[in-house]
Amino acid sequence: MRVSAKADYALRGMAELACRDAGHPVKAEQIAESQGIPLKFLLVIMSQLKRARLVRSSRGSDGGYSLSRPSAQITLADVLRAVEGPLVDLHDSRIGELGYRGAAKPLLEVWMAVRINVRTILETVTLADIASGQLPGEISSIARTYPPARDSSNSI
């Protein structure tokens, strides 16, 4: 799974909104500055999030962006799907349609496990979890197993 800059920025922008007062819209410039996101890129992302009904926007001097529903009801998976599409995509095919045979047939189960695990994690963590700094226990437990020595390449 590759996490694009767009996906990363979308999650960071939504986390910023989740940490702010729900009753007050936040200007895109404030989100961009606080998260180090290029403003033009953020505006494109916010447009996609608005189309997906994850944020709403308001105009005027007090305008800006706000979450369209409580942060506890928006998962990381919701955000990623809004800006990138499917969470785990294999040749734009359903796993059952891949048609692996012979020696490669066990790869189907590997892809199934990858898809299930990515979905489980991203559908479990909400923006409220991110905003509170308290991830679900099972997610923190999994994260603690990450070997720090492998972190040098920025690859997952």
Return the closest-CA partner of residue 75 out of 155, 18, 28: 18
What per-residue string of b and e applies to 21-51 under the rule 16 or more CB within 10 Å gives b? eeeebbebeebbeeeebeeeebeebbebbee
Owner of token pair 């962006």? 65
99 domain residue, yes or no: no
Enclosing domain of residue 62? 5-85+125-153
Q: Domain total for the chain?
A: 1
Angle made by CA atoms 136, 1, 114, in degrees to the nearest 5: 65
70 domain residue, yes or no: yes
9 domain residue, yes or no: yes
91 domain residue, yes or no: no
Amino acid found at 119: R
119 domain residue, yes or no: no
117 domain residue, yes or no: no
11 domain residue, yes or no: yes
76 domain residue, yes or no: yes
- Looking up residue 67, the CATH number of its domain turns out to be 1.10.10.10
Phi-psi region of 107 (alpha: psi -120 to 50; beta: other; left: phi over 0): alpha
Q: Going residue by residue through the chain (156 aa), what tens digit of pLDDT does each one get?
A: 778 999 999 999 999 999 987 778 999 999 999 999 999 999 999 999 999 999 999 988 888 999 999 999 999 999 999 999 878 776 556 666 677 788 988 888 888 888 888 899 999 999 999 999 999 999 999 988 888 765 555 555
